[in-house]
Structure 1
């Protein structure tokens, strides 16, 4: 496999931004009238308008992270054997996942139970960390194929993948594959990814295609860069049809197509504008993963303290956002980053001294 020594800062930025949007998205759920129904602490007052942009994010925020994760494996295997990759991903993904099931996800459930006057019960569950479990399974399932492609870069399969993804047909393959997934699985609703077969198979496809997009070389990125405005115009058009109810019943295959156009619009504009290093990226790329792991605990704690206050709901939203972000970054900076034995529990390498 031809080594790519130039770091793709745009992919790092997209991962950071996607996790930041995930936090905002989860905060917004607490201000919807159905938030409690899916296990969130819910404000007595709703902000219905905020769900319009959130519903746009909903169809591509998780698939985007699956694509990015597959791309990350491509870069990882260039300097690792199969055993080294499994060992590294076990430390970075499986250990935080198991720790989160035991210590992180049960914590925010206890906060919810206390807020609603329920009996506080310790419950092992993956919660929002289901994503990590999926990623680790994908690594186990697909790494033999990925290492085959690494070893046989000029073989028939490797050359075929490059030929397909170096042309517009590669994007069509992705769209048709995600469309076929929803036609077969028939998710209801499409946006329900957590602990569902839809989430598993959609994630598996995105993970695989993310790897293939980078494996194919610069030609694929040149294609989406050239057609970036068309990609985003189609994404906006499909979103407008969905959000304005221009069709009585939006079919899942249209939502799957919308997912692809949003995802590759993000990649195209990121490739053009974000592929540059910065001190902020160096810090945030390290912080994003631990913050993803802990953010629900601070969200639930902030919600439980702020929602009872007799203040405008808009101010509640601002305060919950502030509390969640400040709490997460503060805990990361003061505790996770500096306590050596906690670092591996949150996917960070052990270091003798803080960075």
Structure 2
């Protein structure tokens, strides 16, 4: 039996491109902040602290945009895949690159920073800029079975889930109370905020 292949969503492809370009701009701007060296970025001599307001404003919707796109992509992929097929594909496309970057590319970045700052070289592995990939993979593990069950019942509801998101954000504001709303990196706020987006479908 040949499964129907989901129609390619070029609008989501372009949104993904925009999100990645904004990611590059955001991380370039970090070099002009007075705290850049504290997170192992090479800090520019001349600072532009006024950029931070724009960076925060960008982050508030840039990170959610990435998760919304991931949610659409995963739900669409689930329409033509079994649980096993979806897990294998997401492991290959998400977990493997995240682990590779965490163990090899991120340490190389730290080596460059340590050399520039005349700090003794040491191996330092962490998710760094691939943290969102690890988050997405956790969401996949949590949602792949419910999405498969809903698919089999032909009940993949986009609109009810979309309309429920504001209520979830209100609950987060009450119970999680993030100190910095624009900071999603390795925080409960970042973990909680994005999970509902994997239930969004095209």
TM-score calculated relative to the size of structure 2 = 0.90
Q: How many residues align?
A: 199
Equivalence map 1:228-239=2 (5 Å): none
2:11 aligned partner: 10
1:74 and 2:75 correspond: yes
**Does the CA-based 8 Å contact 2:103-2:125 persist in structure 1?**
yes
Q: Is the 8 A contact 1:182 1:198 kept in 2?
A: no
SS of equivalent residue, structure 1 residue 48: coil
Structure 2: how far apart are the matches of 1:112 and 1:188? 28
Alignment of 1:128-143 (within 5 A): 128-143=129-144
Question: 1:101 matched to which residue of 2?
Answer: 102
Deviation string for 1:258-289 (max 9, x for gaps)?
A: xxxxxxxxxxxxxxxxxxxxxxxxxxxxxxxx
Q: 2:191 maps to which residue?
A: 200
Cα deviations by residue, 1:100-132 (Å, 9 ceiling, x for unpaired) = 111011110111111111011011211111111
Q: Is the 8 A contact 1:178 1:205 kept in 2?
A: no
Q: In structure 2, do the counterparts of structure 1 residues 55 and 163 end up closer, same or farther at CA, with 3 Å as the change threshold?
A: closer
Aligned to 2:124: 123
SS where residue 60 of structure 1 aligns? helix
DSSP-derived class of the 1:181 partner: helix
The whole-number CA distance in structure 1 between the counterparts of 2:102 and 2:136 is 15
Which residue does the alignment assign to 1:28? 29
Separation (CA, whole Å) in 2 of partners of 1:179 and 1:110 = 42
Alpha-carbon offset, residue 177 of structure 1: 1.1
Conservation of the 8 A alpha-carbon contact between 2:56 and 2:182: no
For residues 1-355 of structure 1, what are the structure 2 equivalents within 5 Å?
A: 5-153=6-154, 158=155, 161=157, 164=160, 170-171=162-163, 173-208=164-199, 210-211=200-201, 214=202
Displacement, 1:77? 1.4
List alignment gaps of at least 5 residues for structure 2. Answer: none
Structure number, greater radius of gyration: 1
Q: What displacement does 1:187 show?
A: 1.3
Cα offset, 1:66, TM superposition: 0.8
TM-score normalised by L of structure 1:
0.53
Provide the rounded CA distance (Å) in 2 between the counterparts of 1:78 and 1:90.
18
1:47 counterpart SS class: coil
Q: In structure 1, how many angstroms separate the alpha carbons of the residues matched to 2:83 and 2:129?
A: 28
Does the CA-based 8 Å contact 2:33-2:43 persist in structure 1? yes
CA distance in 2, matches of 1:52, 1:124: 30
State the 1:205 CA deviation. 2.2
RMSD: 1.9
Q: How far has the Cα of 1:162 moved from its partner?
A: 5.4
Is 1:105–1:125's contact at 8 Å kept on the other side of the alignment? yes
Offset, 1:194: 1.2
- CA distance in 1 between counterparts of 2:59 and 2:13 reads 21
CA separation in 2, counterparts of 1:48 and 1:101? 29
Structure 1 residues 27 and 75: alpha-carbon distance in aligned structure 2, compared to 1, 3 A threshold: same
Could you say which residue in structure 2 is the equivalent of 1:298? none
